[in-house]
């Protein structure tokens, strides 16, 4: 096994492209959103709170993005029996709310997007639109 | 789209008027209350803990006010399936307990009131009385 | 005294315009930056971490923006005798590091920008460039 | 020694009277303030953030009030060598910033007031005005 291996890294250009696609989708559906883009460590890369989005969705969109980056799967797929226990065991960092989707390119998880302020389904749809803006990113 | 748009701001005079109306209502019903008034970002504008109100309702009345300001609707209307997840995803800032009501004037959410120490219904009634003290504020 | 008064609100379009101007300035000086735009309550409106910017500057750029929004002046002007005491008394939210500048339009403080990852002078210069992107915003 | 002893308790009427006196003083000096009144345990009794006061002074005025209630003396009298160590050892709860004054009646510390947004001297002056509104409270 080598000591280090090739990886991919999401750029701020890529993150801003995701943001723009998410905004366009949110505007098209008439639901202002908080959109958070994080890197593979869950650290903030780019963010926007659209006019009319909820101020507390700053937090929830971040948690969705962190959870998707960490779990390498969209949020909302966790067993119901575990979701609150995992949230509590991670000081609220893990959430199973709909709206978090990982950015996976060539098998590498390089970040995630989290969206909040709409219904869970709206949040997920905006997250999917953000992912679709990145060429080569796996669709969910 | 413009860079900034007209908005309204709740004054401390307005907030103190809400406080006084809330106190009067709480005294009339014989239930001492914690009453929190926040601005549209959820930041404290005015507060009182009446004699006999619960010390931990300092916190819960604040969370109710923040939730109502952020969500632009009274607390207590969230889907049961999401309320604990949203509380955890916002580090406890979102609550679905009865007693938080937004201050909405001319379509602008300019703050909120949160009340705690009584039953949920009593808390809501005091919050409504606080709102009613502001001319032009939407009734809930 | 009225219960509420006219105010202005920074839009997400305005915030994204500031972000773009800050990025352009940072690229021109060859120093990647974290750039945070907040509203007048210090809540996140827009953010970018440029490629090569420091991950912990996510925090410091936020604190700079919050401090400038709250104090209604650029950071770095506080008396040296008080700066650490004020930081501690606000759980680290107040900082006197260079790089935070308020957005003031027609006498209303409607938000702020905070920049971190370069020297204090570079951070301030990028913040000033972000402010200059908003028509009518006071220059510092 | 008896198992419990007589004490005095600051009422919300007393706290609101302090708030009103503080507001009047702040208006007279033309410096909007955050004014926090706490009980002898440092728990919030009453609060106002005047129009134009700093949002982060919500925190610092609270810390000043807590420190004065706990220390039973006005803030600002701590040895310089200890002030940051004590702040850190109490997770920021102790502050030596000017503007916190205890409410002492008949030898009982029954609460405190903390003021923030002006200079330390202005903050102290407003706190003293709040104390002076309570008949029998020790002047500082």
pLDDT, tens only, D2-28: 999 999 999 999 999 999 999 999 999
The angle that helices B120-132 and B57-71 make with each other, rounded to 10 degrees, is 60
C2 touches chain B (CB under 8 A): yes
Six token digits for residue A14: 């890529």
CA distance B63 to B44: 11
The residues in C 55-94 lying below 8 A from D, measured between CB atoms, are 66-67, 69-72, 82, 84-86, 88-94
Does the distance separating the beta carbons of D87 and C85 come in below 8 Å? yes
Average pLDDT over every residue of C8-20: 98
Q: What is the mean pLDDT of chain B?
A: 97
Task: Point out the residue among B23, B45, B49 whose CB comes nearest to the CB of D44.
Answer: B49
- Smallest CA–CA distance from B131 into chain C, residue: C3
Q: What distance in Å separates residue C87's CA from the closest CA in chain D?
A: 9
- For the question of whether the overall pTM of this predicted structure is more than 0.90, the answer is yes
Q: Confidence class of residue A1 from pLDDT cuts 50, 70 and 90? A: confident
**Tens digit of each residue's pLDDT (9 = 90 or more) over D66-87:** 999 999 999 999 999 999 999 9
**Tens digit of each residue's pLDDT (9 = 90 or more) over B66-116:** 999 999 999 999 999 999 999 999 999 999 999 999 999 999 999 999 999
Task: Kindly list the strands in the beta sheet with B100-105, ordered across the sheet, starting from the edge strand earlier in the chain.
Answer: B100-105, B108-116, B34-39, B44-49, D44-49, D34-39, D108-116, D100-105
CB C24 within 8 A of CB C120: no
**What CA–CA distances, in Å, run from D15 to C83, D19, D21, D111, D131?**
30, 6, 10, 9, 10
Does the distance separating the beta carbons of C15 and A51 come in below 8 Å? no
Model pLDDT, residue C31? 98
Please determine, for the modelled complex, whether the ipTM score is greater than 0.85: yes
- Rounded to a whole number of angstroms, the distance between the first and last alpha carbons of chain A is 31
Residue D73's SS3 state is coil
Q: Confidence class of residue B1 from pLDDT cuts 50, 70 and 90? A: confident
CB A129 within 8 A of CB A60: no
Contacts 24+ apart (CB under 8 A), A135-138: A136/A105, A136/A106, A137/A103, A137/A104, A137/A105, A138/A102, A138/A104, A138/A105
Q: What distance in Å separates residue B28's CA from the closest CA in chain A?
A: 34
Six token digits for residue C34: 């974290």
Task: Point out the residue among B13, B41, B136 whose CB comes nearest to the CB of C43.
Answer: B41
Q: Is the per-residue pLDDT at D140 higher than 90?
A: yes
The angle that helices A80-89 and B80-89 make with each other, rounded to 10 degrees, is 20
Residue pairs spanning A and C at CB distance below 8 A = 46
**Chain D residues within 8 A of B9 when measuring between CB atoms:** 51
Model pLDDT, residue C1? 75
Q: Is the per-residue pLDDT at C36 higher than 90?
A: yes
B30 touches chain C (CB under 8 A): no
**Chain A residues within 8 A of C48 when measuring between CB atoms:** 12, 15-16, 45-47
Task: Point out the residue among A12, A16, A48 whose CB comes nearest to the CB of C12.
Answer: A48
Average pLDDT over every residue of A58-76: 98
**Tens digit of each residue's pLDDT (9 = 90 or more) over A88-129:** 999 999 999 999 999 999 999 999 999 999 999 999 999 999
Written in H, E and C, the secondary structure of A105-130 is ECCEEEEEEEEECCCHHHHHHHHHHH
**Tens digit of each residue's pLDDT (9 = 90 or more) over B18-42:** 999 999 999 999 999 999 999 999 9
Q: Which chains touch A (3 or more CB pairs under 8 A)?
A: B, C
Does the distance separating the beta carbons of A97 and B86 come in below 8 Å? yes
CB atoms within 10 A of CB D97: 25
Our measurement of the distance from residue A110's CA atom to the centroid of its chain's CA atoms, rounded to an integer in Å, reads 11
Q: What is the dihedral of CA D72, D74, D78, D82, to 10 degrees?
A: 70
Model pLDDT, residue D1? 81
The number of C-alpha atoms within 13 Å of B72 and in the hemisphere containing its C-beta is 13
CA distance A71 to B119: 40
């Amino acid at each position: 096994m080598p000591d280090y291996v090739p990886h991919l890294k999401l750029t701020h250009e890529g993150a801003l492209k995701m943001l723009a696609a998410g905004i366009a989708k949110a505007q098209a559906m008439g639901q202002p959103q908080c959109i958070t883009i994080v890197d593979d460590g869950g650290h903030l890369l780019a963010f926007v709170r659209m006019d009319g989005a909820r101020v507390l969705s700053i937090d929830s969109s971040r948690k969705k993005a962190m959870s998707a980056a960490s779990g390498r799967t969209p949020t909302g797929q966790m067993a119901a029996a575990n979701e609150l226990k995992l949230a509590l065991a991670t000081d609220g960092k893990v959430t199973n709310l709909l709206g978090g989707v990982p950015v996976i390119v060539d098998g590498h998880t390089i970040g995630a997007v989290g969206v909040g302020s709409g219904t869970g389904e709206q949040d997920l749809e905006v997250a999917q639109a953000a992912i679709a803006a990145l060429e080569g990113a796996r669709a969910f």
